[in-house]
């Protein structure tokens, strides 16, 4: 039996505010445990929450940037459950009247474009964090840090429109880019600013009804999302193939073992007893405010991608990679303004620069080579000071040492040999040492030419100007 995969994602993004959603405690990451707390976010009796206007503003930006319509009347609801990281015994969220409805995100996988529907976007507060003593050399004890309680979030719920782990990853990539561009969230996955729950089900190909889904919670990297989904597809296929039924349940992903495991089944699922939050007034959002927010939205990834492809005449693929984050797009545009050869700049960023960043697991704004440094290097190639191959070595050095291209070239005496007589000497030397090959070349074995060029370049320690080597060699034996 062939099965079709059906996936819907729920994404939590932390809104980029200075203070929490209902009190003035700071949201700054990494502060000592429980220092960013007050009676409000600790859920003391008798306190009154007040909505942070910036949080609402950012949530509206998230809605508009994903083409959601904004509900004019917004209400918060209490979602009741007990957990040690939830001091109030309920989470303030939005249930019946979410802020945004019916949006979409466009994705592209293997050249095919697809629209992924968004069911809704709602605002809510985050819970705290449990720290288990095992990790502190204190087994058997658990601690709780309330710094995160009351940190503002949006939850973005997609329609079950995704059909593969790859599409899910692409959707997340696009969504993250949109939230980054619209300045809604810093989307830092290591710090928990972006987390994802993946709902996965299978159905026999051709069947209309959806199959039973599982929900794998709290995935905090793109790779884990993809791996967890792939694992679930595998697991559910086996279950169905054995004639069993998939159990609707919440699962967790163990990134060390690369498997998902059951956390709770549907029977144990919570009844949250939602009811309207009585301590907060409903918020009315008028058209003027919506329009103002819409007008202030910056250029979004999709528009930027199209503009890059058109204006810089680079392939769509390049434009896609270069616009995955605003910082990268800015880096690219700055570089092209300093060195107006768009495709060459694109090649260097996508090749050398991204490779180094990937190795280091760093973002482009943490890179010590700035657009000025990169384009200075490219100019040195054009001026003939170094060749492209040497430039790659210089770049690596620049990336790791933070030094300028000029300094590195000077220190290492790396200048390119462009003096014809010096190269002629090298050519002679190699021709003498390879008389057999020269004979073969003269008898029509053309491949030997490349071999001889290689030998000359090697003899020059990569410093000879390749175009000149080719030219002079051709003159001698061509
Ligand atoms: P819950 O609170 O139970 O998780 P939500 O409505 O918040 O429910 O989220 C449901 C998510 O699951 C949505 O992203 C939706 O697209 C997805 N989903 C619903 N049914 C299926 C299904 N059969 N297979 C895969 N995903 C599904
Ligand atoms: Mg859910
Ligand atoms: Zn507080």
pLDDT of residue 199: 97
The alpha carbon of 414 and the centre of ligand 1 are apart by a number of angstroms equal to 59
Closest residue (by CA) to atom 4 of ligand 1? 215
Mean pLDDT value across residues 97-101:
96
pLDDT of residue 390: 85
251 lines ligand 1 (CB under 6 A): no
Helix ranges restricted to H, 402-465? 405-412, 420-433, 435-442, 447-459
From edge to edge, which strands make up the β-sheet containing 275-276? 90-93, 77-80, 275-276
294 vs 60: CA distance, rounded Å: 9
**How many CB atoms sit inside 10 A of residue 398's CB?**
23
Say if residue 434 is exposed, middle or buried (CB neighbours under 10 Å; 0-12, 13-18, 19+). middle
Question: Residues spanned by CATH 1.10.10.410 within the chain?
Answer: 420-477
Closest residue (by CA) to atom 11 of ligand 1? 8
14 vs 11: CA distance, rounded Å: 10
Starting from the CA of residue 95, give the closest ligand: 1
- What are the φ and ψ backbone dihedral angles of 17, each rounded to 5 degrees? -105, 160
195 vs 267: CA distance, rounded Å: 25
185 vs 26: CA distance, rounded Å: 15
Does position 249 have pLDDT exceeding 70, yes or no? yes
Starting from the CA of residue 266, give the closest ligand: 1
- Beta strands at 152-158 and 112-125: parallel, antiparallel or unpaired: antiparallel
Does position 414 have pLDDT exceeding 90, yes or no? no
Residue 78's nearest CA partner among 65, 67, 91 is 91
**How many CB atoms sit inside 10 A of residue 180's CB?**
22
Atom of ligand 1 nearest to the CA of 160: 16
215 lines ligand 1 (CB under 6 A): yes
Does position 458 have pLDDT exceeding 90, yes or no? no
Q: Is the pTM of this model over 0.75?
A: yes
pLDDT of residue 269: 60
10 vs 197: CA distance, rounded Å: 5
10 lines ligand 1 (CB under 6 A): yes
Band of residue 365 on the pLDDT scale cut at 50, 70, 90: confident
20 vs 151: CA distance, rounded Å: 5
**How many CB atoms sit inside 10 A of residue 97's CB?**
18
The alpha carbon of 36 and the centre of ligand 3 are apart by a number of angstroms equal to 7
pLDDT of residue 387: 83
Does position 136 have pLDDT exceeding 90, yes or no? no
124, 172, 199: which to mutate for ligand 1, most atoms within 8 A of CB?
A: 199
366 vs 331: CA distance, rounded Å: 12
The alpha carbon of 26 and the centre of ligand 3 are apart by a number of angstroms equal to 8
6, 7, 10, 79: which to mutate for ligand 1, most atoms within 8 A of CB?
A: 10
Does position 149 have pLDDT exceeding 70, yes or no? yes
Closest residue (by CA) to atom 19 of ligand 1? 160
The two counts, helices (H) then strands (E), for the chain are 16, 16
Domain 420-477 of CATH type 1.25.40.850? no
120 lines ligand 1 (CB under 6 A): no
Starting from the CA of residue 88, give the closest ligand: 3
Band of residue 202 on the pLDDT scale cut at 50, 70, 90: very high
Does position 60 have pLDDT exceeding 80, yes or no? yes
The alpha carbon of 16 and the centre of ligand 1 are apart by a number of angstroms equal to 26
Residue 323 CB contacts under 8 Å (≥ 6 apart), including other chains: 177, 301, 304, 305, 308, 329
40 and 24 Cβ atoms separated by less than 8 Å: no
Q: Where are the beta strands (DSSP E) in 135-279?
A: 142-145, 152-158, 194-204, 214-219, 249-254, 259-265, 275-276
157 lines ligand 1 (CB under 6 A): yes
Residue 394's nearest CA partner among 405, 402, 381 is 405
Share of the chain above pLDDT 90, in %: 78
Band of residue 385 on the pLDDT scale cut at 50, 70, 90: confident
Work out the angle between the directed axes of helices 466-477 and 447-459 (0-180°, nearest 10): 130
Q: How many residues make up the chain in this entry?
A: 478
pLDDT of residue 460: 84
């Amino acid at each position: 039996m062939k099965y079709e995969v059906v996936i819907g994602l729920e994404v939590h993004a932390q809104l980029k505010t200075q203070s929490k959603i209902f009190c003035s405690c700071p949201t700054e990451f990494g502060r000592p445990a429980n220092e960013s707390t007050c009676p409000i976010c600790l859920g003391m009796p008798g306190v009154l929450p007040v909505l942070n206007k910036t949080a609402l503003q950012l949530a509206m930006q998230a809605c508009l940037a994903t083409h959601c319509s904004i509900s004019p009347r917004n209400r918060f609801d209490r979602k009741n459950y007990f957990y040690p990281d939830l001091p109030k015994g309920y989470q303030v969220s939005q249930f019946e009247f979410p802020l945004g409805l019916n949006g979409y995100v466009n994705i592209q996988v293997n050249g095919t474009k697809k629209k992924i529907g968004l069911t809704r976007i709602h605002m809510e507060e985050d819970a705290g964090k449990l720290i288990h003593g095992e990790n502190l050399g204190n087994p058997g004890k658990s601690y709780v840090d309330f710094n995160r309680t009351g940190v503002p979030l949006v939850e973005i719920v997609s329609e079950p429109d995704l059909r593969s782990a790859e599409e899910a990853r692409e959707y997340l990539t696009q969504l993250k880019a949109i939230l980054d561009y619209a300045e809604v969230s810093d989307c830092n996955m290591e710090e928990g600013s972006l987390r994802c729950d993946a709902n996965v089900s299978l159905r026999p190909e051709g069947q209309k009804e959806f199959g039973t889904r599982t929900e794998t919670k709290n995935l905090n990297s793109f790779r884990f999302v993809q791996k967890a989904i792939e694992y679930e597809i595998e697991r559910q296929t086996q279950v169905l193939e054995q004639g069993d039924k998939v159990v609707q349940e919440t699962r967790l992903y163990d990134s060390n073992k690369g498997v998902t495991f059951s956390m709770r089944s549907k029977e144990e699922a919570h009844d949250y007893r939602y009811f309207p939050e009585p301590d907060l007034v409903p918020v009315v959002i008028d058209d003027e405010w919506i329009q103002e927010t819409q007008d202030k939205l910056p250029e979004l990834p999709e528009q930027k991608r199209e503009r890059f492809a058109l204006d810089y005449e680079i392939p769509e693929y390049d434009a896609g990679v270069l616009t995955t984050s605003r910082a990268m797009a800015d880096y690219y545009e700055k570089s092209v303004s300093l060195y107006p050869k768009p495709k060459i700049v694109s090649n260097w960023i996508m090749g050398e620069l991204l490779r180094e960043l990937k190795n280091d697991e760093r973002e482009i704004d943490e890179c010590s080579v700035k657009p000025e440094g990169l384009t200075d290097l490219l100019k040195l190639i054009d001026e003939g000071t170094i060749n492209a191959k040497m430039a790659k070595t210089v770049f690596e050095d620049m990336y790791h040492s933070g030094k300028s291209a000029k300094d590195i070239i000077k220190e290492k005496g790396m200048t390119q040999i462009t003096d014809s007589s010096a190269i002629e000497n090298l050519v002679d030397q190699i021709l003498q040492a390879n008389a057999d090959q020269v004979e073969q070349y003269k008898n029509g074995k053309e491949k030997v030419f490349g071999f001889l060029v290689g030998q000359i370049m090697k003899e020059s320690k990569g410093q000879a100007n390749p175009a000149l080597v080719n030219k002079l060699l051709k003159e001698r034996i061509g």
